[in-house]
Structure 1
Amino acid sequence: MEALLASTFTVAIAEIGDKTQLLALLLAARFKNKTAIILGIFLSTLFNHFAAAWLGQWAINWVNPDVARYLVAASFFAIALWVLIPDKVDAEESRFYKMGPFVATFILFFIAEMGDKTQIATVVLSAKYDALAMVVAGTTIGMLLANVPVVIAGHFSAEKLPMKWIHRGCAILFALLGVATLIY
């Protein structure tokens, strides 16, 4: 249960102001079918984060447990710093719009998550908790918690949120996860 809650909370917070949340806003403004967008986000995240969590599980088996603990902690600290750098959405996504809301969302979210901080966090969380299903479920729920409200309220603007403070809070959360990993 700890893996599920930590993964959900971590990704939901990390996702605020992230490029995929901005992408959700653009897709909601572009397409009327919100259900297709939400389903695209869900399935894309599920596949992407399953692969990331599997990688975390696989990689942790090749490393000495003491070394792994330090690597996981260092990864959390690195993500804490990375979160302080705001994301921007690339303008290249328009070529996928002609594929419709579901396919466009699925492809764009999958691509946007490749190497993104929430994908890296999924790898690290999976390595820390050794609970693949709970981490994937948690990170997917976290992604949906952050993005579904943006899709539903397509007129909502991420610029209205205090992004500087949200990024700082998220950085603190990742740093605390790093400290907790070192202590426990």
Structure 2
Amino acid sequence: MESFLVSTGIVALAEMGDKTQLLALVLAARFRKPWPIVLGIFAATIVNHALAGAVGSWVTSALGPDVLRWVLGGSFIAMAIWMLIPDKLDADDVDKAPRYGVFLTTVVAFFLAEMGDKTQIATVMLAARFDSWAAVVAGTTLGMMLANAPVVWLGERIMRRVPIKLVHTVGAGIFLVLGVLALAS
């Protein structure tokens, strides 16, 4: 249960102000069809995070415990620093015409935007840290949905009220603590 709850919380915080959250906002504003967008985000996240979790589980088996401890500790500390760098959405990240419908456009755009993203890297690290691939993937997916679904439905009203800098600072602090704990154990 710990791996599920930690994964949910970390990814929900990491996603705040992230480029994929900005993408969710852009898709919602452009298409104004929240259900296909939310379902597309869910489908893309499940596939992306399942693959990332598999990589994290593989890393656990490939590295010895001492090497893994240093890699995880350093990775969590690097993630803490990365959390403090704000994301921007490139104009090229969103397809101009939904040739394949809102759902499929969302799946493809979200999956591609998530590649190499903070939350995908966090999923790899969490799967390496916890010996529970399914709980980590379920938790990171729930964290993504908790951060993105409200944006699709409530959009800019939420973005104006949530101090993104504070959320990033809290998230960075959590990653820093996890990194120090990993190095100290």
Please indicate the TM-score interval, normalised by the length of the shorter structure: over 0.9
Secondary structure, counterpart of 2:157 in structure 1: coil
**Which residue of 2 is the match for residue 7 of structure 1?**
7
Aligned residues: 184
Q: Distance in 2 between matches of 1:29 and 1:113?
A: 20
The Cα shift of 1:169 comes to 1.0
The Cα shift of 1:155 comes to 4.0
Q: Distance in 2 between matches of 1:157 and 1:7?
A: 23
Secondary structure, counterpart of 2:32 in structure 1: coil
**Which residue of 2 is the match for residue 124 of structure 1?**
125
Q: Extract unaligned runs of 5+ from structure 1.
A: none
**Which residue of 2 is the match for residue 115 of structure 1?**
116
The two structures have a TM-score, normalised by structure 2, of 0.95
Identity, in percent, stands at 52
Q: Distance in 2 between matches of 1:160 and 1:98?
A: 34
Q: Does structure 2 retain, via aligned residues, the 8 Å contact 1:75–1:124? A: yes
**Which residue of 1 is the match for residue 170 of structure 2?**
169
Report which stretch shifted further, 68-77 or 173-182: 173-182
Q: Which amino acid aligns with 2:74?
A: A
Structure 1 segments of 4+ aligned residues over 3 angstroms from their partners: none
Q: Distance in 2 between matches of 1:155 and 1:173?
A: 26
Residue 164 of structure 2 corresponds to residue 149 of structure 1:
no
**Which residue of 2 is the match for residue 36 of structure 1?**
36
Superposed, 1:79-90 pairs within 5 Å as 79-90=79-90
1:132-158 per-position Cα deviation (integer Å, ceiling 9, x unaligned): 000000000000000000011134352
Q: Which amino acid aligns with 1:91?
A: A
**Which residue of 1 is the match for residue 75 of structure 2?**
75
Secondary structure, counterpart of 1:156 in structure 2: helix
Report which stretch shifted further, 163-172 or 115-124: 163-172
The Cα shift of 1:56 comes to 0.6
**Which residue of 2 is the match for residue 94 of structure 1?**
95
Q: Distance in 2 between matches of 1:96 and 1:54?
A: 33
**Which residue of 2 is the match for residue 22 of structure 1?**
22
Q: Does structure 2 retain, via aligned residues, the 8 Å contact 1:22–1:158? A: no
The Cα shift of 1:59 comes to 1.5
The Cα shift of 1:43 comes to 0.7
Q: Extract unaligned runs of 5+ from structure 2.
A: none
Q: Distance in 1 between matches of 2:33 and 2:169?
A: 34
1:99-135 per-position Cα deviation (integer Å, ceiling 9, x unaligned): 2210111011101110001000000000000210000
The Cα shift of 1:73 comes to 0.9
Secondary structure, counterpart of 1:85 in structure 2: coil
Q: Distance in 2 between matches of 1:3 and 1:9?
A: 10
Q: Which amino acid aligns with 2:46?
A: L
Residue 70 of structure 2 corresponds to residue 56 of structure 1:
no
Q: Distance in 2 between matches of 1:109 and 1:48?
A: 9
Q: Distance in 2 between matches of 1:154 and 1:163?
A: 14
Q: Distance in 1 between matches of 2:118 and 2:155?
A: 24
Q: Does structure 1 retain, via aligned residues, the 8 Å contact 2:95–2:109? A: no
The Cα shift of 1:10 comes to 0.2
